[in-house]
Amino acid sequence: SGERSEDDLTHKMGDIVRINQRLFENINAGAPEIIVEDLWDLLQYHVTTYFDNNTAGVPPAKHRSGRALRTLVQRLKGKRGRFRDNLTGKRVNFAARSTITPDPYLSINEVGIPEAIAKELTVPEFLSEWNEKHLKKMLKETDRILYIIRPNGQRKKVSEENKSEILEELAPGFKIERTLENGDIVLFNRQPSLHRISMMAHYARIMPNKTFRINPGVCKPYNADFDGDEMNLHVPQTEEGKAEARNLMLCSNQAISPRHGGPVVVLDEDSVSGSFTLSLKSTKFEKHEAMRFLYEIGITEIPDADVEGKYYSGKLIFSQLLPKDLNLEYESYACGLVKKAGLCKSCAKEECAFDTFVKIKNGLLVSGVIDSASLGERKGQLADALFRNYGPETLEKFYLGLSRLSTATITRKGMTAGIDEYQTSETVETLRQEAIAEELEESAKLVEEYKKGTLEHIPGKNLAESFETRMLVIGSKVKNKLEKQILKEKIEQTLNVEKPAYNTSIIVLSKAKGSPINFTNMSGFWGQVSVREGRPKRGFKNRLSSINRKGDIGAIAGGFIQNNFIQGLTPREFFYHSMGGRQGEVDTSVATKVSGYLYRRLANSLKDLVINNDETVRTANKNLIQYTYGEDAVFPMKAVRGKSIDVKRIADSVAAEPARQKSKSD
């Protein structure tokens, strides 16, 4: 355009010089005091906005185009400021970024890297007498070595023309830079990096296509999903960097969370559904099918059939992943649901009619189903035992095998959802009508007592608060009755039949996703709408919506929904339901924003705290914060459910030692 482009500070400095000159001239010319004061104020304004163009009560100085000028303070503060954008965080070399997609056939310690990225990123490698032959062969036969670096530090680019010359020159002491190959250690990171395990080390696996591939089990620590998330990959350039990544940052070493001391690298969702299906007592395979499953996990010798002498149970196939001396007993998540449904009067353990009590004896799954209680985040007992008793290598191998097995099981058996599974039985329909009648009757009595003033107060609450709380309690009570019956039928249709339907019941009963309340909402009734832990109140004067009578505070007028999602809601019910939904939407967005900023401030204030050798917690300048770390000197990652020592596990291990030695000698 021919106009000269000035920096914002130069622009501002020009304003200061110009006003200074005018002020000087006016003072010397004896101008009226009001003009001198105006120029004085204007000079003050320009000096202020030179330092901070965002001062409260001062209009920002603007460019001719209307853009606010970026002056000294704006250059330093905030996300795009000098500190956060150029000093504490900056752009780096040897990094790549792409969308992530799932691959259950990869190990948790691997990351699939697109060929296009692998050809761009380089790794330095020292040439020595041990790898001289290998590197010379690579240089001669491939184009994977891009540069050589002489012992004096000179770099030389490798090309087809100078290859033979470089081959003659190469000797121990040289360094080469080659493209990524399978087995190279890399760092993988998803932002925002909110805790230590938002960045972990994986081994490279070069793959076709354009996305990074990871095992879905690695999603939890990264808080990643596959709806378009992008992640960053960094290649360590020094031997120290590679060693630290391999020994300190490898994904399998981070399987236990430093926050709660339970598993955090976990197989969930599809893997839990698949494991649950595989371990059902009704799951059995013929020899050729069983062999296909075993081949998935690298086993070529088939064990003896364990069902009727010719079939292979899913439990037997699952057991091939377990260490031969593993002994465990615990209740599965499904076991808790059986109790909740009132189907279990007293625990029969491995004799349970529904086969929900998990017992593993000498590496064989004797009874029980493998669900979220075995594999889930924080409470996965099987994953926890494998990591603590056998180490990260065993857990990594188990996850790889189970990831393949569960994927194969779902592929073979199928997993579907259909309207027919939410059609209710006559028993449920009768109970539903009774529950609704009970709700309306009891709530009508409460309304009457409230209006008369005879309603019993709840300690610490006034009459109106007591009434609202009791209305919520009634709604919850009648819904629980119906939920219990629906859950009972789902359990019997899945755990107690020869041929279960592989549908959403498996997803809920294994806690792969969802909960029994989803069944009730779809097949029973929604029940009482809740907004801010109470019935919805904000609406018209003395009524919630315009179609209610004034002063009506009964169940229907207060947001009780009698229908379910299969039947469909009435317009009034739909409106009430959206009130509860809106709260969830608002809370999600607001809570994320507020907690994100609070966490940032908290992390910045605590990041210089260190644990000294005397177990005290101190700041960087040695000020004392705690006499003992956490008051008990127990690090959650090393603790077992909050205790520094698990006496029962040690006792069980000692008791099982003779059997372990015997199995080794056999």
Strand partners, 184: none
Distance, in Å, from the CA atom of 627 to the CA atom of 612, rounded to the nearest integer, reads 10
| Same-domain check for residues 301 and 187 | no
Neighbours of 500 (CB within 10 A): 19
Specify if 663 maps to a domain. no
Backbone angles phi, psi at 121, to 5 degrees: -80, 140
- Reduced to 3 states, what is the DSSP secondary structure of residue 43? helix
Burial class from Cβ neighbours inside 10 Å (0-12, 13-18, 19+) for residue 36 reads middle
Answer yes or no: do 408 and 425 share one domain.
Answer: no
User: 455 in helix, strand or coil?
Assistant: coil
Instruction: Specify burial of residue 265 (Cβ count, 10 A radius: 0-12, 13-18, 19+).
Output: buried
DSSP 73: H
Closest listed residue to residue 236, CA positions, set 214, 197, 190, 203: 203
pLDDT value at position 1?
Answer: 42
Task: Give the residue from 366, 385, 413 where a domain finishes.
Answer: 413
- Judge if pTM exceeds 0.75: yes
CA–CA distance, 612 with 603 (Å, rounded to integer): 19
Question: Strand 199-207 to strand 110-114: parallel, antiparallel, or no bridges (unpaired)?
Answer: parallel
Q: Residue 383 domain-assigned?
A: yes
SS3 of 640, please? Answer: strand
Report which residue type is found at 271.
S
- Pairing verdict, β 95-102 and 212-214: parallel
Pick the closest to residue 107 from 404, 321, 387, 317 (CA basis). 404
pLDDT of residue 654: 82
Is 615 among the domain residues?
A: no
If asked whether residues 455 and 506 sit together in one domain, one would say: yes
Which residues is 89 bridged to in the sheet? none
Helices (H), 524-570: none
Say how far apart CA 544 and CA 577 lie, in whole Å.
13
Are both 394 and 427 inside the same structural domain? no
| 662 assigned to some structural domain | no
pLDDT at 157: 94
Residues in the chain with pLDDT < 50? 1-2
Q: Domain end: 539, 562, 585, which one?
A: 562
639's enclosing H/E stretch is none
Same domain (yes/no): 237, 371: no
The answer on 246 and 109 residing in a single domain is yes
Structural domain span for residue 534: 421-562
Environment class of residue 9 by beta-carbon count within 10 Å: exposed (0-12), middle (13-18) or buried (19+)? middle
First to last CA, the chain: 88
The last residue of one of the domains, among 69, 87, 105, is: 87
CA of 357: how far to CAs of 172, 338, 445, in Å?
62, 11, 44
The count of structural domains within the chain is 4
- pLDDT for the residue numbered 604: 87
Same domain, 123 and 37: no
Residue 660 is assigned to a structural domain of this protein: no
The answer to the question of residue 621 being in a domain is no
Q: With the C-alpha atoms ordered 277, 283, 285, 290, is the resulting torsion angle positive or negative? A: positive
The CATH number of residue 310's host domain is 1.10.274.100
Residues 338 and 249 in one domain: no
CATH number, domain of 240, equals 2.40.40.20
Rounded CA separation 115/208 (Å): 6
Let me know if residue 596 belongs to a domain: no
Q: Do 157 and 281 fall within a single domain? A: no
Same domain, 310 and 431: no
**H helix intervals, 453-545:** 463-495, 504-509, 516-523
220 and 276 share one domain: no
Query: What residue type is assigned to position 575 of the chain?
Result: F
Residues 150, 133: Cα–Cα separation, whole Å: 18
Secondary structure letter of residue 313 according to DSSP: E
Calpha distance 198→220 (Å, rounded): 9
CB count in 10 Å sphere of residue 173: 11
**Same structural domain for residues 116 and 246?**
yes
Q: Is residue 149 part of a domain?
A: yes
CATH code of residue 521: 1.10.132.30
Least Cα distance to 556 among 540, 570, 538, 541 occurs for 570
Q: What is the pLDDT of residues 153-173, one digit of tens each?
A: 999 999 999 999 999 999 999
